[in-house]
Structure 1
Amino acid sequence: MTRLPSLYISHGSPMTALQPGLVGVRLAELAAQLPRPRAIVMASAHWLTRQPVVGAHPQPPTIHDFGGFPQALFDIQYPAPGDPALADEIAERLDKAGLPTLQDPTRGLDHGAWVPLRLLYPQADIPVVPLALQPLQGPAHQFALGRALAPLREQGVLLVGSGSITHNLHDFREYQSGGEAPYVRPFIEWVEQRLQADDSAALLDYRRQAPHAERAHPTDEHFQPLHFALGAAGGDTLGAQRIDAGIDAGMLAMDIYRFDGPAH
């Protein structure tokens, strides 16, 4: 079976589901390039827990975890099946890695999962297993989650971290009608340079090393899915490829990354 990359996707606003723009084009292109996954593990910035939890629902419901948007957004369903057997395997792998993991048989797919998945695989016919993140435990913890699951990529499982390469909603009003937040490009350029240099250590220490880290990410939860995807690359060589999907509302960078990891 062909080895899949791991991915980091900037999922943007829930409105991306109705107005996909450039990120919709880029995700469709990416799906066309990838071998069809057997299943997808989705670590979203919108499922946060104190300890690792994996979703084991056989038919995960679509969660509309937002308010104040058009009814058309609430009408969208993403009826992909779950994969309880894969959830069992994920829990076992994480347990063996010293990351005791619970299973949640009721968890559905939040918008950080179903919005990008709907653009990647609109038929919703590939099983999806959601995985919670624990941002209070720091970037190295998310990296460890990804590293423990990296072997699944050899089994046709697509490992995805879903967040946003910059995420400061405090700046939305200032830039939504024009202009661009001055910290966005320096931050995303630093990230790309560190990824191309396989410098995972700097990325794990981004709070101290990255320019404008506090402005780009007042809180960590939308950046740490990147650390999950880095760990899931499976080695010191990341094989990082940046896919530029533009900047939304002048402050949400929509970068996508694929990590092919070390060559066989």
Structure 2
Amino acid sequence: MMPSYFFAHGAPSLVLERHAYTDFLKQIAANTPKPKAIVLFSAHWEDAVQTVSDVETYSTIYDFSGFQDELYTVTYPANGDHVLSERIQTLFAKHGIPSKTDETRGLDHGAWAVLKLLYPDADIPVIALSVNRYLTNEQQYNIGKAVAELREQDVLIIGSGGTVHNLRRLNWHASQADEWAAAFDQWLQDKLEQWDTASLFEYEKLAPYAREAVPTNEHFIPLLLAMGAGDANREAKLLHRSYQFGSLSLSCWQFN
């Protein structure tokens, strides 16, 4: 059965960078059986209703500005999968989760920056899914749980976001992680490895420096979605963690 993953996508320029995390992303795909399809929740696609892409071939969305010119030439023309899109809608309906489809939206950088490093040939069908910041943390988890059975059909489920993501607290000259960012991530690691959902659902109140680490929750939500997809076995493994600019967390969690 395929694992589910949470990947931090960092800055849009991640796809052009070369460091330990990008090397890790390139390597992990080589060590994982090639999936038949990918289902990806991106922090950069928000909607009040759970939305499921049903696109024939994706365009590339450049949802950022001020980066190097080369970044605006990157494309990721993956195909969609109409049958899988319908299957996901059926699963959501089965679990009482309202959903709708989108037939036009391309892939934002939360999706393509990670996928380009994992599977550069764009030869695996992709279904993009939105996130909703106004749901409870338990509801987020249950959305991931609703699609978990796809893993048995060799479908890879990915949440793309960031555990510590506060652009106002970036330290452009930092050579190591800020203590507050590391403290939040360590608390998170302890709770994930224990599969302590009660604490995780209340992380805003319980985790040290939660307000600094997660000033807005859209980047944190994909972690809960990917975790929910691993509910059957409840095994969490930290595969990588590093930092850029003192506090921008670059991490990967695997849920088996």
TM-score when normalising by structure 2: 0.97
Identify unmatched segments of 5+ residues in structure 1: none
Which secondary structure does the structure 2 equivalent of 1:244 belong to?
strand
How far the C-alpha of 1:16 sits from its partner, in A, is 0.5
Counterparts of 1:153-168 in structure 2, within 5 Å, are 153-168=151-166
Structure 1 position 190 matched with structure 2 position 168:
no
Q: 2:208 is matched with which residue: 211, 218, 228? A: 211
Structure 1 position 26 matched with structure 2 position 24:
yes
Deviates more, 1:131-140 or 1:108-117: 131-140
Identify unmatched segments of 5+ residues in structure 2: none
Which residue is equivalent to 2:5?
A: 7
- Would the alpha carbon gap of residues 78 and 20 (structure 1) be closer, same or farther in structure 2, given more than 3 Å must change? farther
Paired residues, what number? 255
Aligned residues of 1:200 and 1:230 also touching (Cα < 8 A): no
Q: 1:106 is matched with which residue: 104, 107, 130? A: 104
Aligned equivalents of 1:110 and 1:117: distance in 2? 11
RMSD across aligned C-alpha pairs, in angstroms? Answer: 1.1
Which secondary structure does the structure 1 equivalent of 2:5 belong to?
strand
How far the C-alpha of 1:194 sits from its partner, in A, is 0.7
Aligned equivalents of 1:112 and 1:137: distance in 2? 20
How far the C-alpha of 1:140 sits from its partner, in A, is 1.5
Deviates more, 1:22-31 or 1:121-130: 22-31
How far the C-alpha of 1:20 sits from its partner, in A, is 3.9
Which residue is equivalent to 2:172?
A: 176
Which secondary structure does the structure 2 equivalent of 1:137 belong to?
coil
Which residue is equivalent to 1:80?
A: 78
Aligned equivalents of 2:174 and 2:251: distance in 1? 19
Aligned residues of 1:151 and 1:234 also touching (Cα < 8 A): no
Q: 1:132 is matched with which residue: 125, 130, 133? A: 130
How far the C-alpha of 1:29 sits from its partner, in A, is 2.1
* Code of the aligned partner of 1:227: L
Which secondary structure does the structure 2 equivalent of 1:53 belong to?
strand
How far the C-alpha of 1:244 sits from its partner, in A, is 2.0
Which residue is equivalent to 1:242?
A: 238
* Code of the aligned partner of 1:223: F
Structure 1 runs of 4+ with >6 Å offset: none
Which residue is equivalent to 2:33?
A: 35
How far the C-alpha of 1:137 sits from its partner, in A, is 1.1
How far the C-alpha of 1:181 sits from its partner, in A, is 2.7
Aligned equivalents of 2:220 and 2:167: distance in 1? 14
TM-score when normalising by structure 1: 0.94
Aligned equivalents of 1:77 and 1:210: distance in 2? 38
Sequence identity, in percent? 38
* Code of the aligned partner of 1:218: P
How far the C-alpha of 1:171 sits from its partner, in A, is 1.1
Aligned equivalents of 1:253 and 1:218: distance in 2? 14
Which residue is equivalent to 1:225?
A: 222
